[in-house]
Structure 1
Amino acid sequence: MSRWLVLLSSLVFVSGCAVYATQQFDALFGAQDVSNRVSSVDEAETAFYNEQVKPILDTRCVSCHACYDAPCQLKLTASEGIERGGSKDLVYDGTRLLAQSPTRLFIDAKSPDEWRAKGFHPVLNERGQSPAANLQGSLLYRAIALRAKQGAFTQPVLSDDYDFSLARDQQCVSIEEYSQFEQDYPNWGMPYGLPALSANEYDVLTRWLAKGGKMPAVAPLPKDLEEKVVLWESRFNGEGLKAQLISRYIFEHLYLYSLYLDDGEAHRFQLVRSTTPPGEPIDLIATRRPYDDPGVDRVYYRLWADPEVKVQKNHIAMQLDEARYARWQSYFYETDYQVTQDPGYHVDVATNPFKAFREIPAHARYRFLLDHSQKTIMSFIKGPVCRGQVAVNVINEQFWVFFIDPEVLYNKGSADYLEDQAQNLDLPAIGSSNTLPLTSWIGFSEQQKSYLSAKAALIESNVGTKVPLDLNLIWNGDGHNDNAALTIFRHFDNASVVKGMVGQQPKTAWVIDYPLLERIHYLLVAGFDVYGNVGHQLVTRLYMDFLRMEGEMNFLLLLPKEDREVVRKFWYRQASQTIKDYIFSDYIKVKSQSQIQYTTDDHQAELYRKLRTRLAAVLNHEHDLSQSKLSLPQQEALLALHSVRGGGGLEHLPNVATVLITQEGVPMDVISLIHNKAHANISSLLDEEAARLPNEDGVTVVRGVLGDYPNVLMQVETVDIADWAEQVASLNTAADYGRLLDRYGVRRTHPNFWFVSDAIANLNKQQKPRESGILDYNRLENR
């Protein structure tokens, strides 16, 4: 009882202080009102913002303030996010019992007034406009001023006063509470736990904020681009049930993508649902999920110009051009079929794509997804979650992904047996965003068992005819599409998806067919609600276990049948009996023999080699060290790390190290060091650490930036590459890792931090002009 009294007293005290501070601010500068910020922006102010202010915000602030995991929901990726301000409410809350109302920028409110009504507080001055008021009443200014007052760091590792954990207790104070915050947390200015802005950067932001923090409206689109928008919107809004259902299918899969209509980088679009047809201003339909009932008789699919700066962690780039349109036309219109009815948006139908889109041939849908399969898979990592542990702690650290050839199981013009079975597979979103996990999981489990039994029976009855268990089962990208093989790297609570068979031989691999690919999307992208309750998030995670096991099962079918259970047992060492009962049960077994001829004793390694040979013409090599500017001996020194195994030393490495390679101090290239953490199994939901096998850890070294959330930056001179690699290979203790950082690390406190950060960003953009974006620094370590 005494603890509650203390807490209550503290809340009363803080509330009283806030009220007093508000009265003080009101007396000095007038009452807060968003209308005080309404003012014109002249040509000189526009140029000043675009040329001087915005580059500082993008390179020094957005790295921490973007997407759902922006501290205090303060998104600095666009002027609308700055005007919206911050909030004390958490987006990520693994304990909430009821779903939360979404607060998506541009979607769930359309003006600062509406955001204030939702509890967001301003970070720019909304009182009387004067230089003094604009600075003292601006959280942005007070935050950078607090950091400037602190000065340079005096020690390499910051004290425990700093909290860099993702689940930290965020101090989302309003301007009225900031004076107390400055006293309580004198070292928490911005950039938080990073070197302060330079004198020039500080001066530019101060001058901008003193004049009211004016931000110009987005410039209109060039005329030629407007014409392309008109063309594509006409394509997305054809008449008739068939055209409308196809457009709905495309939208539900591409709504998160950044769509480009030209060869430049200045303009990108998102496909949105609008109540208004092309030619009229977009009236965005704001629903929790892309397939929720829009509440109108006719939905129009429109291209909305995205004003946000590119952030790599949620950027999925796609070019809309005539070649892509021609392929879409061939997928969806080459086969003669009829759409007889609008499936509607009832939850029982809309949450299950096999029901909603059953009149579009499965072959067409699968072809559409395969055409850009990297992006299809990437969506569940870069999509509705920025902090993806609920989605990615169900996958291994590094594995390869292959796909069933659509001409094998999904012959044009024919209904597919697996498609019919999948009609009975409901997904967790059928329970909305408020789900009771246990009862839901039992029901989904039984459905999945029935589906796998039917799938096993299908394979058994068709081996050697329609479903050969040989390499012809694997899609070869039609000889030209490099989406045929993917590599997924997990970095604890986030992941990367890249093209090619990157890195050393993985422990596991998946083979994905159409029903599996579609369910991954509707489970983790279209159907996942980051604002959902704990039950929704838990059931989503548990269901993904089924899908992972199914992908693994498909891969194991290519091995000799006597190997399958042995390999599966190795993958699931120390798993619970419940998991073992599931994965070794009859409904997941296929007794038919693989028709691949093996000549060695290590069948899994041989299978990987055969797959590499089959896909050689389409394998992507952009992350190979051979594509870097390093010499052959330097490449060999780095590649030698791929044979190093834990021994207890590699466990001290972070998940991702982004390494700037310099030659006499001049930036030359970037490599990434990926820590592949070994597990006995990855079926544990809550105690992942108990399944860790540090002695089996490995690392992968690749060219370029791989991973959107570096845990540490490093700088290595070309002449020191062999020494750096040797130090990594010989790690034994945490002290060894500390010495590695002492020599090569660019810690949060390093005076050259921003130089290295900018150099990595520039090289990343040069190497991947369209796919690259601002990296996220919320996961930078402090050690």
Structure 2
Amino acid sequence: MTTKTYFILLLLTVITSCTTVYQTVESPDYSALYGPSQPMQRILTAKELEKSLANNAISYHNDIKPILESRCVACHACYDAPCQLKLGSTAGIDRGATKQLVYDGGRLSAVNPTRLFIDAVNTQGWRDKEFYPVLNERKNSTQAALNNSLLAKLIQLKRDSPLPETGKLPNSFDISLDRKQECPTVNEFDKYKQNHPDWGMPYAMPGLSLKQEYTIMTWLQEGAKFDSRPSLSSVALQSIAQWEQFFNRSLLKQQLVSRYIYEHLFIGHIHFKGHPNEEFYRLVRSTTPPGQPVNEIATLLPYDDPGETKFYYRLRPVEETIVEKTHFVYELSQDKMQRYDELFFQADYSVTKLPSYQAEIAANPFLAFADIPKNSRYQFLLDDAQYFVSGFIKGPVCRGQMALGVIRDRFWIAFFNPGGKNSLPEMDKDLQKFVADHYSILSLPGTAGNELGLFGFKKYNDLAEEYLKIKDTFANQLIVQYGGFQMDDIWDGNGVNQNASLTIFRHFDSATVVKGLVGDTPLTGWIVDYPLFERIYYLLVAGFDVYSSINHQLASRQYMDFLRIDGENNFLRFMPTDQRNKIHDSWYKGITGRIASYINTPYYSAGYETGINYQTTHYKKEFFNQLRKRLGKAAVNKDIINECEQEACIRKEASPLQQSVDVSMRELAQIKGHDLGVLPEMSLVRIRTKQGQADQVYTLLLNKTLLNVAFMTGDNLRRERALDTLTVIPGFLGSYPNFFFNVQQEQLPEFIAAIKNANSSADKDAFYSKYGVRRTNPEIWQYVDWFNAQHKKYRGVRAGLFDLNRYHNL
């Protein structure tokens, strides 16, 4: 018998012997067997850690954390973690699970928030909020450690009933985004096992390896202890101290600016430029000053009253595993501090009184921050536009088809120039006065909070429509006085900043934003001005409460319709006036009834000509070509996979091997319409080469065309499948892969042909079987590990682990 075979047999024996007790006991009385349940002290003391190391005990950070990150965090992270069981941190594991849903489309009243690290400070606090343990919290014995551990039971259930190794998952698995969640406690596990014998963990995926199981079971038997995180380096502490001093200065102007910055950075991951890629922080409000442990003030929204006469802005280390779906990075540096000084403190203005935290003021940034010059606020947003737009997408609002149905599958964004049309001082004064005169109309649904009511959205819809009407009148006056809108009215990124143009992709129930104009010319485009940018941010990020009632969420979704229309109308003002209705109508086919009254009203300066001189009749394409020239060095390299206008399109930075693969992928990008029916919204392709280390990654993005995006549901009823397109991205784009493909380089021609010809169910099944990595494939975890590792190499500090909650059963 080989050493390897002996080791595997030993693992099987140990795991089986560890679990026979609870398997032979029917409906055990855990209290009688192991005593009362109460939270345990799991953090090892210095002496305990020394003893643990001497005994070669399992280390959480060295042995357990890598397993959980590679096999469990793929589903158990963020707000949408099943049963709110978050396995990306020691605090999340010890907190356990709950039956309460975060995302509940039928919730008629708000629920108490359950944000990890914020809404309870210890495990007992979570027990008081009806979270139950997944680790043993009874008698400290090796037997109780497994018999009373939900984590152990769910892992063993997968071992007892593994998935089939070929084909699709059976119908007994529900992997839909809004599936009914089964969240058993350890006392309810026997019934769960009886009803769902094949629902072991990882759910609807192959199980852990024997070695991984053995490591976890051994750790559980040893008491499931946590060795402490490494301490922050002296360099990190120095940067934290420097920035906390900056944010907590005492002058009124400094306090107001810090409040503005905090309300815009609170949700993201802050990184100090040049520091290790794994170090991130959150900007929080704390009752404790710099130098003391952070005591975060647990307000629901960043502009809620902190309830303290004195509080401090602090940088709190991010303790959770970094996952792609919530990871967007804002870098702090000496250059950024100097930029803040230029934007906010060299400008000539004074602050004599700080704004109130009352909702009617605090929820309206145009009122709360009226003292800070508009252009300073706007340029602050523009400098890192991708970051702020990512907040719309990676925050809790952006979840599910209903939320994402407000935008097209792919569109481009550019921004108006700060300082007004052609940077004329007179124009800027007119713009500032216009915004100041209409602060009340710019009120957002967040002002009403949980008092919004079932039909409260109508008030804010009416305000939004009134704003479109007044803005159109004002824009027309500007055109008469200063001339039609020209390319000079677009922000050029100051010649270097690639945030000046963005592409947003919608992947049915998720989305992604990237810098540059990616893909071929899209159906729609937005030109964003300051009031629009700020309102979207306060609607979808600062003012969005994921724990609120359906009333709040419905109001947010309805109001976003008007913001989309505002951005589209700005774009239409750059089109020839005799083309605007035609272009607009191509976006909103089939609109009737009440909704048509505001969607079809031409709030886009109808009859007032653009200042752009067009040379062709391909107006949108020519506009964006002119925009690229306008941006100059601020433009991201042109996409030569999806928008190749000459025979030789070559990525300059690509190797000869990559260029060779690009040729095939360019052919793939030309497939359109019904021929794309076999592809999901977002998939990752591994191109296997004869040089193993040189395997290539491409992201395939299906762009579905709809008659309109004016309704929250019914996408399939509004599909124009013949107009669907495909965007092919070298490298990675997106957070939720729907499927993996594995293709040998020499197979690319037949892979592309198979996509075109997969018309019947049998064709599609054969296609997925040959090229796809199905959920049942025992090797799928190897692909997950490979893609995550390549993603980290590709995006560095901006990379997180992919989420598999939306991996399809194809």
TM-score strictly above 0.5: yes
Paired residues for 1:369-768 under 5 Å: 369-385=381-397, 387-408=399-420, 414=429, 416-424=432-440, 425-438=442-455, 440-463=456-479, 466=482, 468-585=484-601, 587-621=603-637, 626=651, 630-647=657-674, 649-664=675-690, 666=692, 668-768=695-795
CA apart distance, 1:198: 1.2
Deviations 1:244-299 (A, max 9, x none): 01000000000011111243123211000112221222111101111011111123
CA apart distance, 1:624: 6.3
Of 99, 103, 111, the residue aligned with 2:110 is 99
Provide the C-alpha distance between the structure 1 equivalents of 2:761 and 2:256, rounded to a whole number of angstroms: 57
- SS of the aligned residue for 2:308 comes to coil
CA apart distance, 1:455: 1.8
Q: Name the amino acid aligned to 2:230.
A: A
Query: 2:326 — aligned with what?
Result: 314
- SS of the aligned residue for 1:400 comes to strand
Q: Kindly indicate whether the alpha-carbon contact (under 8 Å) linking 1:672 and 1:703 is maintained by their aligned counterparts in 2.
A: yes
- SS of the aligned residue for 2:498 comes to coil
CA apart distance, 1:684: 1.0
CA apart distance, 1:586: 5.3
Q: Name the amino acid aligned to 1:666.
A: G
My pick for the range that moved more, 82-91 or 216-225, is 216-225
Provide the C-alpha distance between the structure 1 equivalents of 2:403 and 2:344, rounded to a whole number of angstroms: 31
Indicate how the Cα distance of structure 1 residues 628 and 116 shifts in structure 2: closer, same or farther if over 3 A, else same.
farther
Query: 2:191 — aligned with what?
Result: 180
Of 208, 216, 219, the residue aligned with 2:219 is 208
Of 274, 279, 282, the residue aligned with 2:286 is 274
Query: 2:3 — aligned with what?
Result: none
Verify: 1:25 aligned to 2:66, yes or no: no
Provide the C-alpha distance between the structure 2 equivalents of 1:47 and 1:252, rounded to a whole number of angstroms: 42
Query: 2:11 — aligned with what?
Result: none
My pick for the range that moved more, 60-69 or 324-333, is 324-333
Indicate how the Cα distance of structure 1 residues 623 and 780 shifts in structure 2: closer, same or farther if over 3 A, else same.
farther
- SS of the aligned residue for 2:595 comes to helix
Provide the C-alpha distance between the structure 2 equivalents of 1:555 and 1:143, rounded to a whole number of angstroms: 53
Q: Percent identity?
A: 38
Query: 1:12 — aligned with what?
Result: none
Provide the C-alpha distance between the structure 1 equivalents of 2:232 and 2:41, rounded to a whole number of angstroms: 29
Q: Name the amino acid aligned to 2:506.
A: R
Deviations 1:507-528 (A, max 9, x none): 0010000000000000000111
Q: Name the amino acid aligned to 1:662.
A: R
Verify: 1:296 aligned to 2:303, yes or no: no
CA apart distance, 1:83: 0.4
Indicate how the Cα distance of structure 1 residues 171 and 720 shifts in structure 2: closer, same or farther if over 3 A, else same.
same
Provide the C-alpha distance between the structure 2 equivalents of 1:472 and 1:72, rounded to a whole number of angstroms: 52
Indicate how the Cα distance of structure 1 residues 144 and 690 shifts in structure 2: closer, same or farther if over 3 A, else same.
same
Query: 2:164 — aligned with what?
Result: 153
Indicate how the Cα distance of structure 1 residues 95 and 273 shifts in structure 2: closer, same or farther if over 3 A, else same.
same
- SS of the aligned residue for 1:671 comes to strand
Indicate how the Cα distance of structure 1 residues 199 and 665 shifts in structure 2: closer, same or farther if over 3 A, else same.
farther
CA apart distance, 1:736: 3.0
Provide the C-alpha distance between the structure 2 equivalents of 1:269 and 1:766, rounded to a whole number of angstroms: 22
Of 183, 208, 233, the residue aligned with 1:222 is 233
Indicate how the Cα distance of structure 1 residues 507 and 587 shifts in structure 2: closer, same or farther if over 3 A, else same.
closer
CA apart distance, 1:152: 5.3
Q: Name the amino acid aligned to 1:42.
A: L
Give the root-mean-square deviation of aligned CA atoms. 2.1
Query: 2:10 — aligned with what?
Result: none
Verify: 1:245 aligned to 2:256, yes or no: yes
Indicate how the Cα distance of structure 1 residues 744 and 39 shifts in structure 2: closer, same or farther if over 3 A, else same.
same
CA apart distance, 1:434: 4.6
Indicate how the Cα distance of structure 1 residues 332 and 542 shifts in structure 2: closer, same or farther if over 3 A, else same.
same
Q: Kindly indicate whether the alpha-carbon contact (under 8 Å) linking 1:84 and 1:115 is maintained by their aligned counterparts in 2.
A: yes
Provide the C-alpha distance between the structure 2 equivalents of 1:364 and 1:36, rounded to a whole number of angstroms: 49
Q: Name the amino acid aligned to 1:718.
A: Q
My pick for the range that moved more, 595-604 or 429-438, is 429-438
- SS of the aligned residue for 1:713 comes to strand
Query: 1:7 — aligned with what?
Result: none
CA apart distance, 1:672: 0.6
Gapped regions of structure 2 (runs ≥ 5): 1-24, 642-650
Query: 1:13 — aligned with what?
Result: none
Q: Kindly indicate whether the alpha-carbon contact (under 8 Å) linking 1:36 and 1:127 is maintained by their aligned counterparts in 2.
A: no
CA apart distance, 1:46: 8.4
Provide the C-alpha distance between the structure 2 equivalents of 1:373 and 1:514, rounded to a whole number of angstroms: 11
Provide the C-alpha distance between the structure 1 equivalents of 2:750 and 2:58, rounded to a whole number of angstroms: 47
TM-score, normalization by structure 1: 0.94
My pick for the range that moved more, 488-497 or 725-734, is 725-734
Verify: 1:42 aligned to 2:55, yes or no: no
Deviations 1:114-168 (A, max 9, x none): 1011100000000011111111111111111111122352432111111101121
CA apart distance, 1:729: 3.3
Provide the C-alpha distance between the structure 1 equivalents of 2:188 and 2:326, rounded to a whole number of angstroms: 32
Q: Name the amino acid aligned to 1:30.
A: G
Deviations 1:199-225 (A, max 9, x none): 211111111111111112222211121
CA apart distance, 1:170: 1.1
Verify: 1:53 aligned to 2:76, yes or no: no
Provide the C-alpha distance between the structure 1 equivalents of 2:403 and 2:364, rounded to a whole number of angstroms: 19
Q: Name the amino acid aligned to 2:49.
A: D
Provide the C-alpha distance between the structure 2 equivalents of 1:609 and 1:470, rounded to a whole number of angstroms: 14
TM-score, normalization by structure 2: 0.91
CA apart distance, 1:386: 5.8
Provide the C-alpha distance between the structure 1 equivalents of 2:235 and 2:26, rounded to a whole number of angstroms: 52
Query: 2:341 — aligned with what?
Result: 329
Provide the C-alpha distance between the structure 2 equivalents of 1:191 and 1:452, rounded to a whole number of angstroms: 49
Q: Name the amino acid aligned to 1:371.
A: D
Q: Name the amino acid aligned to 2:795.
A: K
CA apart distance, 1:468: 4.6
CA apart distance, 1:182: 1.6
Provide the C-alpha distance between the structure 2 equivalents of 1:257 and 1:659, rounded to a whole number of angstroms: 29
Provide the C-alpha distance between the structure 1 equivalents of 2:271 and 2:165, rounded to a whole number of angstroms: 46
- SS of the aligned residue for 1:384 comes to coil
Provide the C-alpha distance between the structure 2 equivalents of 1:449 and 1:206, rounded to a whole number of angstroms: 60
Q: Name the amino acid aligned to 2:465.
A: K
- SS of the aligned residue for 1:715 comes to strand
Q: Kindly indicate whether the alpha-carbon contact (under 8 Å) linking 1:259 and 1:270 is maintained by their aligned counterparts in 2.
A: yes
Query: 1:138 — aligned with what?
Result: 149
Provide the C-alpha distance between the structure 2 equivalents of 1:466 and 1:212, rounded to a whole number of angstroms: 74
Provide the C-alpha distance between the structure 1 equivalents of 2:353 and 2:750, rounded to a whole number of angstroms: 67
Provide the C-alpha distance between the structure 2 equivalents of 1:254 and 1:601, rounded to a whole number of angstroms: 43
My pick for the range that moved more, 61-70 or 440-449, is 440-449
Provide the C-alpha distance between the structure 2 equivalents of 1:467 and 1:135, rounded to a whole number of angstroms: 76
Provide the C-alpha distance between the structure 2 equivalents of 1:637 and 1:298, rounded to a whole number of angstroms: 62
Provide the C-alpha distance between the structure 1 equivalents of 2:32 and 2:454, rounded to a whole number of angstroms: 52
Gapped regions of structure 1 (runs ≥ 5): 1-19
Indicate how the Cα distance of structure 1 residues 517 and 463 shifts in structure 2: closer, same or farther if over 3 A, else same.
same
Q: Name the amino acid aligned to 1:127.
A: R
Q: Kindly indicate whether the alpha-carbon contact (under 8 Å) linking 2:325 and 2:736 is maintained by their aligned counterparts in 1.
A: yes
Indicate how the Cα distance of structure 1 residues 55 and 530 shifts in structure 2: closer, same or farther if over 3 A, else same.
same
Q: Kindly indicate whether the alpha-carbon contact (under 8 Å) linking 2:248 and 2:258 is maintained by their aligned counterparts in 1.
A: yes
- SS of the aligned residue for 2:263 comes to helix
Indicate how the Cα distance of structure 1 residues 701 and 119 shifts in structure 2: closer, same or farther if over 3 A, else same.
same
Q: Name the amino acid aligned to 2:499.
A: N
